[in-house]
Chains A and B, each alone.
Chain A
């Protein structure tokens, strides 16, 4: 029961605080280890700091709580929901009493509770009033003579400590309780460690993304600048013939356009999710995008075959973004499709919840190893691709609760399906 509670909760996306509460709940619930109260300290630098103290404040409260929790049919989720109110640091709870407690893990004299966390050893205290190893102020706070200190650590790193007692029932702390509590301690220590690692990883990923961004800007700006600088230098030479002058100016103009596009797309990308979704009719937007891209596509010898079903529902999105998203997909499809190839656009209602816009090209398809990379920032297979198009599409879809599906077989083209949420009753 105990382990199943803990393991079940860890597979859910609970916060660190919730999962720690699960452990304290397991330690205090009757169906778990069954201590009356559980106090949690978390390591913070070279100190441990009071974080949470779960349990009733008085005998009356205990009676009431235990009655509530023993109601038939009550599950661990309900217990945790209930316990959450008991550890609210801003209310009159036990947790509020320990939030200002903090003990150094190194400064002598090392007394309990810090001693246990510092030495990574379990301490069972009996008759604390006469125990010189217990900090007097702590004894005042906990107010019982018998308690158990379980250190939380992982890979030799102190993560915190749990202090357990039976203040209400005065039941003696037995060997089997210590065993179970130490297992919980191991789980908690490793869990806190994993969470801190994860937090570090997220931080590192952010830094890596920032590094990627800096790389991207360097590349996207430097290449056009080199081209512009180089061809300008040639122009400054008086002996350049007319024809070459024009060619250089054309190249320079094109590179400046490219710089503009980079600036535009970056700005665009950083701005998504600021606008609220509105109810939109899709046909006019899709038609206007198709019209504006059709000329370019036809000129280059490809053909778009649109199929827009009748009686389409309204969707929740942002009109400009919807247009941009479709334009991006058409651009990609155009680049992927060989001359004289076809691009199929199909707009239909999948079911009551989703409207689908699918864009299928007849190009080479997406190789398996690129499928994961293609939504990453700054990834592009095009010579002058910026690598923000699909990322933009994804961000828009995420921001408006939609989803993207990609079907592709190498050699047979790719199909991008955008699922937009239909307006309710639409």
Chain B
């Protein structure tokens, strides 16, 4: 018997609103249901109420940064794949970023990000 197909849910944590809009639209096109949060605290609030299949987070954000967020999510023991999406290559050397499942440097082409998402979410 075939299961009913449900849209996979992605949470995007990114402080730049225009980037959020871009990701939202582009990932919706790929058939995902996207929720955005502009900072880590909002993301944690949302995570308490809703289940997600994947989280994409920026690192440098006002308030808690993405690494703090990852630490908190790990503390919640939610088994959700996390993709770091940042403008910086150099955070790779911070071992806390290794806790994420993938590290994608922001690029004007979203292909890499999209393919990583596909790796972790089997629709």
Contact with B along A358-398 (1 / 0, CB 8 A): 00000000000000000000000101100000000000000
Does A251 interact with chain B (Cβ within 8 Å)? yes
Given A233-B109, A251-B18, also A223-B87 (CB < 8 A): yes
Take A255-B18, A383-B15 as given contacts and tell me if A226 and B88 are in contact as well, using a CB distance cutoff of 8 Å: no
Nearest CB on A from B66, distance (A): 13
Decide if B26 is an interface residue (CB 8 Å cutoff).
Answer: yes
Residues of A within 8 A of B109 (CB): 229, 233
Answer yes or no: A125 CB below 8 A from chain B CBs: no
CA distance in complex: A36, B18 (Å): 76
Q: A230 near B26 (CB under 8 angstroms)?
A: yes
Cβ of A169 within 8 Å of any chain B Cβ, yes or no, is no
The answer to whether B110 has its CB under 8 Å from any CB of chain A is: yes
Contact of A218 among B15, B22, B87 (CB under 8 A): B87
CB distance from B57 to the nearest CB of A (A): 15
Contact with A along B28-64 (1 / 0, CB 8 A): 0000000000100000000000000000000010100
With A and B bound together, what is the CA distance between A211 and B93 in angstroms? Answer: 14
Q: How many A-B residue pairs have CB under 8 A?
A: 55
How large, as a class, is the contact surface on chain B?
20 to 34
In the complex, the answer to whether A222 meets B16 with C-beta atoms within 8 Å is no
Report Cα–Cα, A225/B107, bound state, in Å: 8
A279 interface hit (Cβ, 8 Å)? no
A207–B63 Cα gap in the complex (Å)? 26
Contact B60 A219 (CB under 8 A): yes
A134 CB-CB contact with B under 8 Å: no
Q: Which residues of B contact A255 (CB under 8 A)?
A: 18
**A234 in contact (CB, < 8 A):** yes
Chain B residues closer than 8 Å to A381, beta-carbon distance = 62
Does B90 make an interface contact (CB < 8 A)? yes
B118 within 8 A of A: no
B19 on the A face (CB < 8 A): yes
Residues of A within 8 A of B87 (CB): 218-219, 222-223, 226
Kindly state whether residue B25 has any CB partner on chain A within 8 Å.
Answer: yes
- Shortest C-beta distance, B84 to chain A (Å), equals 14
* Chain A residues with CB under 8 A of B116: none
Q: Which secondary structure dominates chain A's binding surface?
A: helix
Which of the residues A218, A230, A384 comes within 8 Å of B88, measured between beta carbons? A218
Q: Is the CB of B108 within 8 A of A383?
A: no
CA distance A9 to B89 in the complex (A): 47
1/0 contact string of A225-252 vs chain B (CB within 8 Å): 1111111111000000000000000010
Which of A215, A228, A234, A384 is B16 in contact with, Cβ under 8 Å?
A384
Residues A226 and B19 in contact, CB atoms below 8 Å apart: yes
Looking at chain B's contact residues, is the secondary structure mostly helix, strand, loop, or mixed? loop
What count of chain A residues pass the 8 Å CB interface test?
Answer: 21
A100–B62 Cα gap in the complex (Å)?
57
Q: Provide the residues of chain B in CB contact with A219, threshold 8 Å.
A: 60, 87-88
Known contacts A219-B88, A383-B62, A384-B16: A229-B107 contact under CB 8 Å:
yes
Question: B22 contacts which chain A residues (CB < 8 A)?
Answer: 226-227, 230-231, 234
Which positions 184-236 of chain A face chain B at CB distance < 8 Å?
215, 218-219, 222-223, 225-234
Residues of B within 8 A of A232 (CB): 108
Residue among B19, B25, B38, B90 making CB contact with A234, cutoff 8 Å: B25
Q: CB within 8 A of A226: which of B25, B89, B107?
A: B107
Q: Are B110 and A230 in contact (CB under 8 A)?
A: yes
A230 touches B60 (CB 8 A): no
**A255, closest chain B residue (CB):** B18
Question: Which of chain A's residues 68-101 have a Cβ closer than 8 Å to chain B?
Answer: none
Residue of A nearest to B25 (CB): A234
Instruction: List the A residue with the shortest CB-CB distance to B60.
Output: A219
A227 / chain B contacts, CB cutoff of 8 Å = 16, 18-19, 22
B108 to A215, Cβ gap below 8 A? no
> Are B88 and A223 interface neighbours, CB within 8 A?
no
Complex Cα gap A223–B15 (Å): 11
Closest chain A residue to B61, Cβ basis: A383
Bound together, the chains give a CA A218 to CA B86 distance in angstroms of 10
Nearest-CB residue, chain B, relative to A219: B87
- Check: B17 CB closer than 8 A to any chain A CB: yes
B25 / chain A contacts, CB cutoff of 8 Å: 234
Whether B8 is near chain A, meaning CB under 8 Å from some CB there, is no
* A383 with B107, Cβ < 8 A, contacts A219-B60, A230-B26 known: no
Q: Is the CB of B108 within 8 A of A229?
A: yes
Bound together, the chains give a CA A225 to CA B110 distance in angstroms of 12
| Measured CA separation A251–B110 after assembly (Å) | 17
Interface residues of A (CB under 8 A from B): 215, 218-219, 222-223, 225-234, 251, 254-255, 381, 383-384
Q: Identify the 5 closest CB pairs spanning chains A and B, nearest first.
A: A229-B108, A222-B87, A230-B22, A219-B87, A226-B106
Question: 6 A-B residue contacts at CB 8 Å?
Answer: A218-B89, A219-B88, A225-B108, A227-B19, A233-B109, A383-B15
Known: A223-B87, A225-B108. 9 other contacts (CB 8 A): A222-B105, A223-B19, A227-B19, A229-B107, A230-B19, A230-B22, A231-B18, A233-B108, A383-B62
